């Protein structure tokens, strides 16, 4: 049997050693693998302080003389000691945690099979605050105490550092994690089994760890160090349990051929195995599934474990379903902050940094490519990060890619904004996190959708982009994501509330989304409309122009020098009509990297005609977008639909309603067949 470990806890007064040990004692009470030693102290049992074993000075001296103490020391006029019987418990495989003294560490190291020091630390500011709260010392005494040099810990003894600057729960979790890592060390053994692309770790049924903590569909972290390397090497693997006494000894862990090669450590290396997910994370997941409200720390732990593959898809799906049913405003704010923490934020030396977002779902509404140049021409900084299409015919990034590179690095975004005052970049390279990948992989196939979850994701991306002020477009309509004005306004209130909670100024606006905006649907066709607006072309779609001016005016109103919303809209219109916005777009495109040649609308075309005369009462944007995607958009930049008629127009039988553009004949034929089944136009 492998002996247990003696953990000796040291640290300065105020570091919180006793508090952390009390928390750990409660957490580990049912494990049976740990014991917390009661120190012998020559003071009465009812004298307060720690739970100790009271002993008289004569009895203490006699016990010490008889070899009944593992270690002893003096402090504050008292005698302290640890009973020698603790060694027997260690030899039986039990781990012991004890509050100790730096002066006896070397002696203890030679008296027990294995000693690990847990050095609990805290910043000077935290130590001073905690000492002052006790009311035992004057400020001068506390300052003198903190100024004393702490003796160095002895060399050659493994030491774990636990920082305890935050909440008690956080400190206890760090303390437990340190102990857990130390007690879960195994000897590495390669196993000649080909697991193909999956990393498999093998544990014997009688493993010293207890396989119940690791077996199941989740993964574990397998980590170890190569001699001379500072950072550990690690892989994530699934656990398979093998019969006891066959392949592996109780203190060994086996790795499949692929996993062993990927870890890159020699056989016999010391390996740490970390349960995935940790208990706090699993408790948080279960609490959310039960409908309870979680805090920021809960979400930070839980989302990190989800992103790192510590949960099977079934448990993630259960969590997401529960989250779509019950997310409080405070939880949305917590999620936004946590999601933002998974990406490196952009920092700007600007008093105002603006951004814009649309909930989408309205084909052709490509106003960002007009708003950003107007804002840049005015002089405000607008580092716009945008998404690609998921279910639509074009996202903002897809459309901008017709003109310029969008896969910018953070440094390229900074340079572009410095040179042109704005950028329109793809967010996948900037503020996309592993959380998005995992969540999208679960939510999309299952059709899980939550506006509240979306708000957290959107706000997190604005935080990562470094925005201070954000305008949010909330289109509503029978075919939009938001069905009614009431739903849009309610979501707008949530956006603004969460924005305030995380330090953003957010203005959310409910807009009519009853029909597509502009004429083009698909990247090149939408850019054609944008350029017509920026160049004052007579064929520019008026609805696209007016909506762009509305949002540009709202953003410019945040500039204290502009004044009212009416003045800011007039300023936006002037920048548009003067050509300043068009010139600003050129500067943005040049800074990002101009695309040459610029894709044009695809040459293969087919007009879709009205089957009978009538008045157009409705255009189903989702259907129109689906036809454009069938034609090849957004991957084929030139594919899409050119709308020729709008809601309210009177049409004759056989009159063209729209034209399908495609680059390949099979794509055109498929889109034509889809339009023949349902062209998305409702004639009254």
Q: Which tens digit of pLDDT belongs to each residue from 223-236?
A: 888 877 777 888 88
Give the torsion through C-alpha atoms of 531, 402, 390, 450, to 10 deg: -50
Residue 489: what pLDDT? 96
Residue 217: what pLDDT? 59
CA distance 284 to 301: 8
Helix (H, G, I), strand (E, B) or coil at 396: helix
With tokens 């509240």, the residue in question is: 452
Residue at 657 is within a domain = yes
Q: Residue 626: which pLDDT band, with cuts at 50, 70 and 90?
A: very high
Residue 576 sits in the same domain as residue 619: no
CA distance 170 to 159: 20
Q: Which tens digit of pLDDT belongs to each residue from 523-544?
A: 999 999 999 999 999 999 999 9
Residue 172 sits in the same domain as residue 188: no
The CATH number of the domain holding residue 229 is: 2.40.40.20
Task: State the average pLDDT over residues 18-23.
Answer: 90
Residue 534 sits in the same domain as residue 499: yes
Residue 214: what pLDDT? 67
Helix (H, G, I), strand (E, B) or coil at 268: coil
Q: Which tens digit of pLDDT belongs to each residue from 136-147?
A: 788 888 888 888
Residue 194 sits in the same domain as residue 289: no
Residue at 427 is within a domain = yes
Task: State the average pLDDT over residues 322-348.
Answer: 88
Picking from 160, 182, 204, the residue at the C-terminal end of a domain is 182
CA distance 240 to 254: 10
Residue 41 sits in the same domain as residue 104: yes
Give the torsion through C-alpha atoms of 646, 649, 654, 658, to 10 deg: -10
Q: Sign of the C-alpha dihedral, residues 501, 502, 504, 510?
A: negative
Residue 68: what pLDDT? 94
Q: Which tens digit of pLDDT belongs to each residue from 172-214?
A: 988 988 888 788 788 899 999 988 778 899 998 877 676 666 6
Residue 648 sits in the same domain as residue 628: yes
Task: State the average pLDDT over residues 346-360.
Answer: 93
Task: State the average pLDDT over residues 331-355.
Answer: 91
CA distance 56 to 448: 68
Count of domains for the chain: 5
Residue 228: what pLDDT? 74
Picking from 137, 165, 182, the residue at the C-terminal end of a domain is 182
The CATH number of the domain holding residue 96 is: 3.40.50.300
Residue at 300 is within a domain = yes
Residue 164 sits in the same domain as residue 191: no
**Distance (Å) of CA 374 to CA 303, 349, 616, 646:** 38, 21, 34, 27
Residue 99 sits in the same domain as residue 155: yes
Picking from 255, 274, 293, the residue at the C-terminal end of a domain is 274
Decide if pLDDT at 609 tops 70: yes
Q: Which tens digit of pLDDT belongs to each residue from 41-58?
A: 998 877 666 788 999 999
Q: Which tens digit of pLDDT belongs to each residue from 559-604?
A: 999 988 999 999 999 999 999 999 999 999 999 999 999 999 999 9
More confident residue, 423 or 132: 423
CA distance 169 to 301: 13
Range of the domain at 222: 184-274
Residue 143 sits in the same domain as residue 265: no
Residue 584 sits in the same domain as residue 611: no
Q: Which of 45-49, 102-106, 124-128, 397-401 has the lowest mean pLDDT?
A: 45-49
Residue 223: both structure tokens together? 């980590």
More confident residue, 2 or 26: 26
More confident residue, 376 or 452: 376
Residue at 442 is within a domain = yes
Residue at 555 is within a domain = yes
Q: Which tens digit of pLDDT belongs to each residue from 275-293?
A: 666 678 888 888 999 989 9
Q: Which of 166-170, 326-330, 436-440 has the lowest mean pLDDT?
A: 436-440
The CATH number of the domain holding residue 488 is: 3.40.1030.10
Residue at 346 is within a domain = no
Q: Residue 215: which pLDDT band, with cuts at 50, 70 and 90?
A: low
Residue 254 sits in the same domain as residue 293: no
Decide if pLDDT at 362 tops 90: no
Decide if pLDDT at 108 tops 70: yes
Q: Sign of the C-alpha dihedral, residues 41, 42, 45, 46?
A: negative
Percentage of the chain modeled with pLDDT above 70 = 94
Decide if pLDDT at 372 tops 90: yes
Percentage of the chain modeled with pLDDT above 90 = 57
Residue at 289 is within a domain = yes
Residue 505: both structure tokens together? 């100024």
β partners of residue 239: 201
Residue 202 sits in the same domain as residue 59: no
**Distance (Å) of CA 139 to CA 135, 148, 306, 400, 552:** 10, 15, 46, 61, 56
Residue at 104 is within a domain = yes
Q: Residue 332: which pLDDT band, with cuts at 50, 70 and 90?
A: very high
CA distance 338 to 304: 9
Residue 210: both structure tokens together? 């207890």
Spatial CA neighbour of 186 closest among 238, 235, 161, 223? 223
Residue 615: what pLDDT? 96
């Amino acid at each position: 049997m492998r002996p247990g470990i003696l953990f000796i806890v040291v640290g300065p007064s105020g570091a919180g050693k006793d508090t952390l040990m009390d928390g750990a004692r409660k957490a580990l009470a049912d494990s049976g693998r740990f014991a917390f030693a009661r120190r012998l102290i020559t003071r009465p049992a009812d004298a307060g302080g720690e739970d100790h074993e009271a002993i008289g000075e004569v009895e203490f001296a006699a016990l010490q003389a008889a070899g009944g103490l593992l270690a002893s020391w003096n402090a504050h006029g008292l005698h302290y000691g640890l009973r020698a019987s603790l060694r027997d418990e260690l030899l039986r495989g039990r781990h012991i945690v004890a509050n100790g003294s730096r002066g006896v560490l070397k002696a203890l190291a030679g008296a027990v099979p294995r000693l690990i020091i847990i050095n609990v630390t805290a910043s000077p500011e935290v130590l001073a605050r905690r000492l002052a709260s006790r009311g035992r010392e004057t400020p001068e005494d506390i300052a003198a105490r903190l100024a004393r040099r702490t003796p160095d810990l002895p060399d050659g003894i493994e030491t774990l550092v636990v920082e305890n600057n935050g909440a008690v729960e956080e400190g206890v979790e760090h303390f437990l994690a340190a102990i857990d890592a130390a007690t879960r060390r195994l000897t590495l053994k390669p196993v000649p089994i080909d697991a193909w692309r999956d990393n498999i770790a093998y544990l014997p049924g009688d493993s010293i760890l207890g396989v119940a903590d690791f077996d199941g569909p989740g993964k574990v972290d397998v980590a170890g160090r190569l001699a001379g390397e500072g950072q550990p090497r690690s892989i994530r693997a699934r656990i398979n349990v093998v019969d006891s006494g066959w392949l592996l000894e109780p203190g060994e862990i086996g790795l499949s051929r692929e996993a062993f090669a990927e870890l890159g450590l020699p056989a016999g290396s010391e390996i740490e195995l970390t349960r995935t997910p940790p208990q706090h994370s699993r408790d948080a997941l279960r609490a959310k599934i039960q409908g309870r409200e979680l805090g920021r720390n809960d979400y930070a732990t839980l989302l990190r474990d989800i992103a790192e593959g510590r949960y099977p898809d079934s448990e993630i799906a259960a969590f997401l379903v529960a989250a779509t049913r019950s997310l409080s405003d405070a939880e949305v704010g917590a999620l936004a902050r946590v999601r933002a923490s998974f990406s490196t934020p952009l920092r700007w030396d600007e008093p105002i940094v603006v951004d814009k977002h649309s909930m989408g779902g309205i084909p052709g509404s490509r106003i960002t490519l007009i708003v950003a140049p107007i804002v840049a021409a005015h002089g405000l900084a607008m580092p716009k990060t945008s998404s690609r299409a998921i279910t639509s015919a074009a996202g903002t990034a897809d459309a901008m890619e017709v003109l310029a590179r969008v896969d910018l690095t953070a440094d390229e975004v900074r340079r572009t904004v410095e040179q042109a005052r704005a950028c329109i970049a793809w967010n996948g390279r900037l503020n996309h996190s592993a959380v998005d990948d995992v969540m999208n992989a679960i939510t999309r196939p299952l059709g899980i959708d939550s506006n509240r979850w979306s708000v957290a994701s959107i706000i997190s991306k604005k935080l990562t982009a470094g925005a201070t002020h954000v305008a949010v477009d909330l289109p509503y309509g029978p075919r939009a994501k938001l069905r009614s004005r009431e739903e849009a306004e309610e979501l707008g209130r949530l956006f603004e509330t969460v924005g305030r909670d995380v330090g953003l100024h957010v203005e959310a606006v409910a807009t009519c989304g009853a029909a597509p905006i502009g004429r083009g649907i698909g990247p090149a066709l939408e850019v054609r409309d944008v350029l017509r607006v920026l160049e004052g072309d007579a064929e520019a779609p008026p609805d696209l122009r007016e909506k762009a001016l509305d949002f540009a005016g709202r953003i410019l109103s945040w500039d204290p020098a502009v004044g009212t919303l009416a003045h800011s809209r007039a300023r936006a219109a002037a920048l548009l009509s003067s050509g300043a916005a068009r010139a600003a777009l050129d500067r943005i495109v040049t800074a990002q990297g101009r695309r040459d040649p610029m894709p044009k609308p695809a040459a293969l075309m087919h007009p879709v005609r009205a089957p009978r005369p009538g008045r157009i009462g409705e255009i189903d944007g989702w259907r129109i977008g689906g036809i454009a995607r069938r034609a090849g958009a957004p991957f084929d930049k030139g594919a899409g639909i050119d709308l020729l008629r709008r809601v309210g127009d009177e049409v004759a039988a056989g009159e063209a309603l729209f034209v399908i553009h495609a680059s390949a004949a099979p794509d055109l034929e498929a889109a034509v067949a889809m339009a023949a089944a349902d062209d998305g136009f409702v004639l009254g």
